[in-house]
Amino acid sequence: MEVPPPEYTVLHKISGKLPYLPPSLRQVAETILKEPAAAQSMTISELATSSGVAESTVSRFVRELGVDSYKALSREVAEAMFVSRSAGAAEADGPERLVYEGIARGDDLAAIVGKIERSSVQAMRRTAQRQDIDALTRAVAHLDAAETIVFVCMGSSSIAAEEAVMRFTRAGRKCLLFRDQSIQVMLASIIGPSDALIAISDSGQSTSVIQAVTLARSRGAHTIAITSAEDAPLAAAADIALFTSSVPSGGELYGESVTSKWGQILVIDILYAAFAAGRYDETLQHLDATYQSGIKQSRTP
């Protein structure tokens, strides 16, 4: 029997905000995420004590989440725990090895279509929820000031990078993307303060991508990481980290699923849209020029 995927809960929201919270609020978030079953029954005083903060800090945390009251937060945590238990009930006998995310032995084509659709929508929704406006604003400012935008990536993350090159080139910004990781690293070693580098890695652990970011940053270039893991080395290496939320995979047997790319493309779309909106008339001129020179003649009348 197919089990519906968990809905987006307050625990997902807390996890998404975690990288951007100030230290005191982060302590509250980490306490809840570490032991949500215990946190749901704590009083505000007990949660404050467990987190090592004042009650007023917990109240600030509640407001930061956009929740009406501490009581409402406790209720939402309890609901999230119920959703999690319901989703996990089908795995009581232990996880099954999967050939693709969520696809079980014996699934028919209709079930496969439904599962892939839901996991794709879920990845997009959770990525949108994880976006921090301040981080996006700073990233767009760097792209706006950059003479050249350099992209570094590995494997299927190049899908998002190539989409970004097309969009930003059409908006009038010079872009560079090489498939060869050695050339990516060499390029990172010669760019400077007038350039920006965007690194894309779902795991945030790709060695060559981290190396490129480290080199570019040491030379004064502005570095932006797009990854799903806030504790990944890539997030720590970059000036700014923007987070995606891919649906968990079935392990390393088949590699990353395509649904993890939807989050990367969504972040690229947001960066492009904000960049283009800030240069509205200029972008329209570039869009027209690039269409006339590179697209129009390729279309059949």
pLDDT tens column, 153-186:
998 899 999 999 999 999 999 999 999 999 999 9
Strand partners, 148: 174, 195
Of 77-91, 130-144, 197-211, 280-294, minimum mean pLDDT range: 77-91
Q: Give the per-residue pLDDT at 235.
A: 94
Name the token pair of 141.
């400012």
Could you give the C-alpha distances from 230 to 65, 141, 196, 234, 242, in angstroms and in order? Answer: 18, 22, 21, 9, 9
Min mean pLDDT across 103-107, 130-134, 193-197, 273-277 is at: 103-107
Pick from 195, 112, 194: which is nearest to 151 by CA?
A: 195
Q: What pLDDT is attached to residue 188?
A: 96
Q: How confident is the model over 4-33, as pLDDT tens digits? A: 444 567 888 888 788 788 889 999 998 998
Residue 145 and residue 195: Cα distance in Å, rounded? 8
Q: Round to whole Å and give the CA distance between 256 and 101.
A: 9
- The pLDDT assigned to 119 comes to 77
Instruction: Identify the pLDDT of residue 20.
Output: 81
Angle at which helices 10-17 and 70-88 cross, to 10°: 110
Total length of the chain: 301
Compute the distance between CA of residue 1 and CA of residue 23 in angstroms, rounded to an integer: 43
Distance CA 222, CA 124 (A): 26
C-alpha to C-alpha distance for 136 and 134, rounded to whole angstroms = 5
Q: How confident is the model over 52-62, as pLDDT tens digits?
A: 999 999 999 99
Backbone angles phi, psi at 22, to 5 degrees: -65, 160
With beta carbons less than 8 A apart as the criterion, state whether 136 and 193 touch: no
User: For residue 130, is pLDDT > 80?
Assistant: yes
Q: What are the chain's domains?
A: 1-93 (1.10.10.10), 133-296 (3.40.50.10490)
End-to-end Cα, the chain, rounded Å: 51
In angstroms, the CA 215 to CA 227 distance is 18
Q: Give the residue ranges of DSSP H helices in the chain.
A: 10-17, 23-34, 36-39, 44-51, 55-65, 70-88, 109-129, 133-145, 158-170, 181-188, 207-218, 233-237, 259-278, 280-294
- b/e map 40-60, b = 16+ CB within 10 Å: bebebeebbebbebeeebbeb
Per DSSP, 85 falls in state: H
Q: What are residue 206's phi and psi, to 5 degrees?
A: -70, 115
Q: Measured between alpha carbons, how far is residue 5 from residues 16, 228, 243, 261, 273 in Å?
A: 18, 19, 21, 19, 30
- The number of beta carbons lying within 10 Å of the beta carbon of residue 124 is 17
Q: How much is the pLDDT for 37? A: 84
- pLDDT interval class at 112 (50, 70, 90): confident
Question: Mean per-residue pLDDT for 217-227?
Answer: 97
